[in-house]
Structure 1
Amino acid sequence: MFAAGCIQLLIQIYPLLKLKLFPSFSFNLNHPGVRKVLYLMIPGVIAGGVSQLNMLVDTILASFLPTGSPTWLYVSDRLMQLPLGIFAIAIGTVILPKLSSLHQNSDQDGFSKTMDWSLRLVMLIAIPSILGLVLLSEPIILTLFERGEFLATDTTQASYSLMALALGLIAFMLIKVLTPSFFARQDPQTPLKVALGSMIVNAFLAWLLAFYLGLNHVGLAMASSIAAYFSISILLFILLKNKIYEVQKGWIVFFGRIVIACLLMALIVHFMNIETFAWRELEQAERFIRLLLVL
């Protein structure tokens, strides 16, 4: 990961030098621009990474649960990062400068339409992803992880927490898209307060579901998902109340198309999928090939 980050940095340096846009370094912390960046950055780190912070808390709590709980939770979270890291973060990165420009130009209509476009794109990606992760939770984990010390019982337990986390994927992705809309308007405090509230909700639900109700690691995963929905509910309420975002036409038709596509997807997955014991009888290469075909 460190090497990949270095390569990504080096790839960007040459074009910046060629365009004479490479920034000069300065350590003047009293500069107004630096202070403004720090003012926006610190709340941004907390608000944008609230899901990861909640998962960190859940992982620590999982160490007090039955043996294997931290591993099951970690495996589930890693699989969740695929749609979250590839799509949601990319969308959030793309819309932030666009929203900032629209806000500077006082183009409220354009701001709202850009928000609407990003929300639809998230839904288009998240809903089929949820369906795939839920229906194929056990085959995915079995294919990728079940070997050595990772046994069949581990696959089953990890699949339960994966399903619980997958149900919150829409919320996890929307956090990455809704948060930039506040930073584009120079308002870092609102998402920060919501993030802190989400952490409190997550901690309470983690205790309630995992320990008090005895749902163990699945309860921790459920707590993260519910806390994420809490965050987006508050953020969306604020955006709608202040008329920063206005829902555009066509959502009913849009959702209808997604539902039809997901029903077809579920039927295809149902007919192409096989029982868990049949997956285990396949060779490793055959598992990968079949999983790719089903996906």
Structure 2
Amino acid sequence: MSLFEILLEPLSYDFMVRALVTAVTAAALCAVLSCWLVLIGWSLMGDAVSHAVLPGVVLAYVFSVPFAVGALLFGFLAVGLIGAVRETSRIKEDAAIGIVFTTLFALGLVLISVTPSHTDLTHIIFGNLLGVSSGDLAQIMILAALAMAVLLIKRRDFTLYSFDPTHAHAIGLNPRMLGAALLALLALTSVVALQAVGVILVVAMLIIPGATAYLLTDRHSRMLVIAPAISVACAVLGLYTSYYMDTASGGMIVLAQGTAFALAYFFAPRQGLIGTRIRAARRRRMALTA
């Protein structure tokens, strides 16, 4: 089988075409947002929101409304509860995040266990990329386009907020509103990626691309190009690999992203572990011979 045939065979199936479009869309959006999450240090917040949407998705199924509606409501609820616990008690942010997201995730598991369903709701947890319908795809594309448009239009404000909220306030921006907007976009992005990899692996797509790009460049503008490029490439590679190896598609996509991060971690030109060790050894030798 030629390379051309290998690339075209999966695309002869409509479900694979929908899966590929969904995976690429979710990967690109998650990667762009991850550039700010990594800089701000919101990795745990991404984990919280992605898990907290589970009960909303189950309730949306129960009341026969689009999954995105329930997921968005509970995503915003999680963000609000975390802020309320943090601001009205002695509990610090990391503890508030852990309390809220584990409680909501557990609620979602309980709802799944007691909800009579002809649909396997565990797909919400692990993803159902190959089961994306035309309606699901349209919903994903609309939400992704909305989130991406906001991210690109406000990218300078978000970047300034990430590096120096005090300076952002000094020039007339509202750091609280910018933070709230990023959290809302985080909830929206989690809904987009939910269909692809499920609530458990969403956090990987929200963090790994930005972390990988962070090792490859010192400029945020380049991160916004490198992160989605790597993420989309991993989405395509993971989906094709899952097709030919008959493995979980969402898991393969995240595994590909993890491999890309490992390569950057070891071999990045300036920040890679091997290059750093070599330069340190070279400096020691120069110091000894000086």
Report the TM-score range of the alignment, normalised by the length of the smaller protein.
0.3 to 0.5
Q: Please, what TM-score do these two structures have when normalized by structure 1?
A: 0.34
TM-score by structure 2 length?
Answer: 0.34
